[in-house]
Chain A
């Protein structure tokens, strides 16, 4: 070891030049180093570019979410006019995502993203496709879909694609989009729950009429006897063990002569604003029968009594 060191120092101390082979070897080594370094620089230039491109794609998706806003009507503005077929696996192409203002008017030059156009803040990224693709058919009118964005990134090695998805909750009517939402709890789900709990679990929200409607198989049966109403064969009272106390959701009686307690106020300050039908009802869930009791002075013959029933076939689902 000591000998090698001395030899090296002796070599360095001498004034002898480099031989041809040494010089060529050094040049070759230098060339290899330069080649590797340039490759590294190119690769990492691409790496930086790739980071910049990915960052802009993420930012674009955030802008898309902001365009949909926190109100479902923006979603309807953006993709509502599109003809969407939930059985078409490949979905439907959407030309652009635009910003809309508070009165549902498209903002001029308000493209967030548009097919064929490059993203503004990053070089080499183009929007290749925007597509609304069905994912799950929740029921006849309700579909879970994905808004799928395909971006093309170009660099020196060639193009690559980046796909981003955004889940969308859609309701459909006659082949067109009636409502849509990208929010965690779409207002349609909340409206549906409201209808369910208000009507004892036998109603749902209809986005077409924007009202609660009774479920399939649920019907009101009007009795000829104002004191009693029963469900026909193959039907049972539309109730369950938990809401038998809310009899007026199942049993109702309507005056045919308009006899109602009018809006009034009492001395103790209680104000009754609504007209109230003058009856009470007792439901027997076993026999699916409602019995009606009218206040003294009222004529039962002036009333038409009804019971809400569900087909046993529908109830067993």
Chain B
């Protein structure tokens, strides 16, 4: 029926051709528009990802700058954002409730810098995870530890991006946190024991076996 109609139509007038042309044009325009929309969406996503990366690197830098000062780090502990003890720190980590605060009494900025997951934060990004890894005891005779603060952000393309900042955690003999300090791994060795920036300074000054003792800020 269709073929008969089509040949008949070709013989008599152009209406069938026009109908088909309109349908084909419609499909072509739809494809072009869809392609263009996809392109725009991808470009927007790429831009947003680049911005997320830039802002995330800045967040990393700001945390390092701020928490390399032990007093500021201690204030974060005193307000219980890391918990008051090692066990509480780990339970907060498991629950995803670790928070990083600007010290309210020490400058214009105050309040949440990096909150628990899925809320607005430093640059209005969503954290998917904020946690400390299990602390590694640094010395058998002392209750000082090294743990990695890890912040994971899901970027606009839903690709996870994370920063890792090693923290010295200092506890008393009962496990209560009494101090902390951010550090870095300038020369990652790939497996524990890691050498922090302070360890490398100690080994350069006092010999290769010397390690940093964060409780007293000395080399041992």
Contacts and interface: CB of A to CB of B under 8 A. Distances in A.
Interface of A: 9, 12-13, 15, 40, 44, 47-48, 51, 54-55, 58, 61-62, 86, 89, 133-139, 142-144, 164-167, 169, 182-186, 189-190, 193-194, 196-198, 200-201, 240-243, 246
Contacts, number: 128
A12 B16 contact: yes
B71 interface: yes
B132 interface: no
Contacts of A186: 65
A242 B61 contact: no
Contacts of A12: 9, 15-16, 19
Contacts of B123: 165
A243 B72 contact: no
- Closest 6 CB pairs between A and B? A201-B217, A167-B62, A136-B107, A240-B216, A89-B108, A137-B107
A128 B202 CA distance: 47
Contact of A144 (B9, B71, B107): B107
Contact of A242 (B12, B50, B218): B218
Contact of B219 (A55, A58, A197, A241): A197
A47 B66 contact: no
Given A12-B16, A136-B72, A142-B69, A200 B218 contact: yes
B47 interface: yes
B71 A139 contact: yes
Nearest to B41: A47
B218 A51 contact: no
A62 B37 CA distance: 28
B216 A58 contact: no
B198 interface: yes
B205 A198 contact: yes
A51 B44 contact: yes
Nearest to B60: A184
A215 to B, nearest CB: 10
B47 A58 contact: yes
Contact of B201 (A134, A142, A190): A190
A10 to B, nearest CB: 11
Q: Which of A135, A136, A185 has the most CB of B within 10 A?
A: A136
Nearest to A185: B184
B148 to A, nearest CB: 15
A115 to B, nearest CB: 21
B113 to A, nearest CB: 9
A196 B217 contact: yes
A197 B205 contact: yes
B33 interface: yes
B162 to A, nearest CB: 16
Interface string B1-30: 000010011001101100100000000000
Contacts of A184: 60-61, 64, 184
A297 to B, nearest CB: 31
Given A133-B108, A167-B62, 14 more contacts: A12-B15, A47-B40, A47-B44, A54-B47, A136-B103, A137-B106, A138-B72, A139-B69, A185-B197, A193-B201, A197-B198, A198-B205, A200-B218, A242-B213
A86 B107 CA distance: 8
A61 B217 contact: no
